[in-house]
């Protein structure tokens, strides 16, 4: 039986090959988060879409990583704004300018 980070059964959630799918979501989450972090210093990469994608991937791959990302001092406020209003806060948009 496959279990996630909290000990819950993930067999029904991921089906056959659940561990491989979980690893794929985690890997995609880390890559997306890396692009989002690079977007902080590189003006050609957008930060927020990659952070939102990372949150989606971590939510499907690991609830622990999703919680850590949501509580992050750097990325947590971006995700909170997106979750509550479906948009990016104006202050966040003006930050790189």
At residue 13 the predicted structure's pLDDT band, cuts being 50, 70 and 90, is low
Q: How many CB atoms lie within 10 A of CB 67?
A: 14
User: What pLDDT shows up at residue 97?
Assistant: 46
Q: Looking at the predicted structure, is the pLDDT value of residue 5 above 90?
A: no
pTM score: 0.63
* 60-69 contacts at long range (C-beta below 8 A, 24 or more positions apart): 60/22, 60/25, 61/22, 61/23, 61/24, 61/25, 61/26, 61/28, 61/29, 62/4, 62/5, 62/22, 62/25, 62/26, 62/29, 63/4, 63/5, 63/6, 64/5, 64/6, 65/5, 65/26, 65/29, 69/33
User: What pLDDT shows up at residue 38?
Assistant: 92
Over residues 58-86, mean pLDDT: 83
């Amino acid at each position: 039986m496959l279990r996630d980070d909290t000990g819950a059964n993930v067999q029904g959630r991921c089906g056959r090959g659940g561990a491989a799918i979980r690893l794929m979501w985690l890997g995609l989450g880390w890559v997306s988060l890396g692009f989002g972090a690079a977007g902080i210093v590189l003006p050609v990469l957008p930060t927020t879409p990659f952070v939102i994608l990372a949150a989606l991937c971590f939510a499907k791959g690991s609830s622990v990583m999703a919680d850590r990302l949501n509580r992050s001092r750097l990325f947590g406020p971006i995700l909170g704004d997106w979750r509550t209003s479906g948009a990016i806060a104006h202050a966040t948009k003006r930050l790189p300018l």
